[in-house]
Structure 1
Amino acid sequence: MLQKTRGIALSYIRYRETSIIARIYTEEFGLQSYIVNSVRTARNKNNKIALFQPLTLLDMVVYNKPDRELHRLSEMKTSYPFQSLPFEVAKSTIAMFVTEMLNKVLKEEAGSPPLFKFLMDSVLFLEEAKTNYENFHIAFLLKLSFYLGFGPESAREFESQLRENSYPFLPDDEMETALNTMLRYPLGTPIKLARSARNELVDALVTYYHIHLDSLGEVKSLPVLREVLG
């Protein structure tokens, strides 16, 4: 049955000679995998494989069969062509890290329009932001944790949970203020953080996710993120 849905591209793997299997978080059906044929050929002049780069926003018509693990796409196009996110080193590094985390934490389940809206709005913010996005990944993970069911109500609660799990997180006043600001205010709210503090917060957040999600595993993009943004 053909159905329309919006989606956010997360990753893809090669499939046979010319096709891919794309993982896409959809508004209607949650996390889904789609076979996309003939996107890795010389004849594909439209460069459709670019539609499956990390965080690309998609409008899709899909064949949805609930009893299948792999689905097929009938039509697809980007709903918002990116002008900065794939081309600016800082933004593309953030996108790489965020996409890896989403691939790890989003599950194959029914669609969640509130979560999809949060993800889409966050991607649009990162794409359009000219300033005040250097802490985006930290604020994003803090806010995402509420949709996943384990968001901390305050910096003190965040610190307490880490220390209860033997992680020595001792934020100073500046870091505590930054955490509370990120928890309470929208993405892009100006926050001053030293490079060392930003690294410390990212490490603490990844550990916080490990505490709540046993299957998280190694976050391979973390060293690159530290190097580029810190």
Structure 2
Amino acid sequence: MLTKNNSIVLSKLKYREYDLIVKCYTQNRGIVSYILRGVLKSKKSQTKTVYFQALSQLQIEENFKPNQSLHSIKEVKLNYIYKSLHTNIFKSAIVLFLSEILSNVLKEEEKNEDLYHFIEATLQYLDNEEHFANFHLLFLLKLTRYLGFQPENLNKNYDYFNLESGIFEASNNGIYSISGENLTLLKQLLGINFDALSTVKINAKQRQEFLNMLLFYFELHLSGFKKPKSLKVLNDVFH
């Protein structure tokens, strides 16, 4: 049955000689993988691959067949045309990093419109924003809400945060307790939205250390989570 589905591209993989498998997070079905047969066969057909850049926002007319792992696409068009996300080297590094994160953590083949709209809206914000060096930090922190391990926002006056339990604590309870600059930044980011990110002033070293802490937080709460390969590229670009 042909249906329309808004989609955000997470990854693509060459399959056999001329085919491409594209994994998307969709508004109506969660994770869906599509197979584009023969799309790499000629230069003319390869032009279609421009639609499937990382985190592109698409409207797909799909031939969805339940109980199949790969589905086909009849028509595709851009739902939102990025102005800078794929051309600005700094934003492109963020896109590469976040697409790898999302491809890793989003597994559900079921509808979650709140999560879809969060990803959709924040990417459009990034596309239009000039001050975005800390965007990925706040994105990951807010993403934890949809993944089920958002830091609790009570007792923010306490001097420690426990990465394992996800709560603020009055005392140091071992290797999972953080304090100092990472704690200060965590408290600051928990209290703001993206439009206030320009008020967060940190240097490259602080940004990198906080990101490493966030990724460790993901590792503790998501089985099988691994640091993305694109992390080095991201750190190099923002160093």
TM-score (norm 2): 0.88
Paired residue for 2:188, among 174, 181, 194? 181
Q: 1:151 is matched by which residue type in structure 2?
A: Q
Please say if residues 85 and 126 of structure 1, whose CA atoms lie closer than 8 Å, have aligned partners that are also in contact. yes
RMSD: 2.1
Q: 1:95 is matched by which residue type in structure 2?
A: V
Determine the structure 2 residue equivalent to 1:209: 218
Please say if residues 6 and 27 of structure 1, whose CA atoms lie closer than 8 Å, have aligned partners that are also in contact. yes
Tell me the distance in 1 between the aligned counterparts of 2:14 and 2:174. 39
Please say if residues 153 and 183 of structure 1, whose CA atoms lie closer than 8 Å, have aligned partners that are also in contact. no
Paired residue for 1:226, among 225, 231, 235? 235
Please say if residues 142 and 150 of structure 2, whose CA atoms lie closer than 8 Å, have aligned partners that are also in contact. yes
Tell me the distance in 2 between the aligned counterparts of 1:158 and 1:7. 39
Q: 1:150 is matched by which residue type in structure 2?
A: F
Determine the structure 2 residue equivalent to 1:169: 178
Determine the structure 1 residue equivalent to 2:169: none
- Write the deviation string for residues 98-126 of structure 1: whole angstroms up to 9, x where unpaired: 11100110013211000000000011011
Please say if residues 21 and 35 of structure 1, whose CA atoms lie closer than 8 Å, have aligned partners that are also in contact. yes
Q: 1:88 is matched by which residue type in structure 2?
A: N
- Write the deviation string for residues 182-211 of structure 1: whole angstroms up to 9, x where unpaired: 223211412111211101110000000000
Q: CA deviation at 1:157?
A: 9.6
Please say if residues 32 and 108 of structure 1, whose CA atoms lie closer than 8 Å, have aligned partners that are also in contact. no
Please say if residues 12 and 52 of structure 2, whose CA atoms lie closer than 8 Å, have aligned partners that are also in contact. yes
* Greater mean alpha carbon deviation, residues 90-99 or residues 188-197: 188-197
Sequence identity of aligned pairs in percent? 33
What does 1:1-230 correspond to in 2, within 5 Å? 1-44=1-44, 47-131=47-131, 133-154=132-153, 159-162=161-164, 166-167=175-176, 169-172=178-181, 175-189=182-196, 190=198, 191-230=200-239
Count of residue pairs the alignment pairs up: 227
* Greater mean alpha carbon deviation, residues 210-219 or residues 144-153: 210-219
Q: CA deviation at 1:86?
A: 0.9
Q: 1:138 is matched by which residue type in structure 2?
A: L
Tell me the distance in 1 between the aligned counterparts of 2:206 and 2:140. 16
- Write the deviation string for residues 59-87 of structure 1: whole angstroms up to 9, x where unpaired: 01111122111111111111112221111
Using a 3 Å threshold, how does the CA distance of structure 1 residues 164 and 97 change in structure 2: closer, same or farther? farther
Q: 2:194 is matched by which residue type in structure 1?
A: L
Gaps of 5+ in 2: 165-171
Please say if residues 7 and 25 of structure 1, whose CA atoms lie closer than 8 Å, have aligned partners that are also in contact. yes
Runs of 4+ in 1 over 3 A off after TM superposition: 154-158, 162-165, 175-178
Tell me the distance in 2 between the aligned counterparts of 1:208 and 1:182. 15
Using a 3 Å threshold, how does the CA distance of structure 1 residues 205 and 164 change in structure 2: closer, same or farther? farther
Gaps of 5+ in 1: none
Tell me the distance in 2 between the aligned counterparts of 1:125 and 1:16. 37
* Aligned partner of residue 228 in structure 2, secondary structure: coil
Tell me the distance in 1 between the aligned counterparts of 2:101 and 2:175. 23
* Aligned partner of residue 39 in structure 1, secondary structure: coil
Tell me the distance in 2 between the aligned counterparts of 1:143 and 1:14. 32
* Aligned partner of residue 44 in structure 1, secondary structure: helix
Q: CA deviation at 1:152?
A: 0.3
* Aligned partner of residue 151 in structure 1, secondary structure: coil
- Write the deviation string for residues 141-191 of structure 1: whole angstroms up to 9, x where unpaired: 00000000000024669821257672463333xx54432332232114121
Q: CA deviation at 1:42?
A: 2.7
Tell me the distance in 2 between the aligned counterparts of 1:144 and 1:37. 33
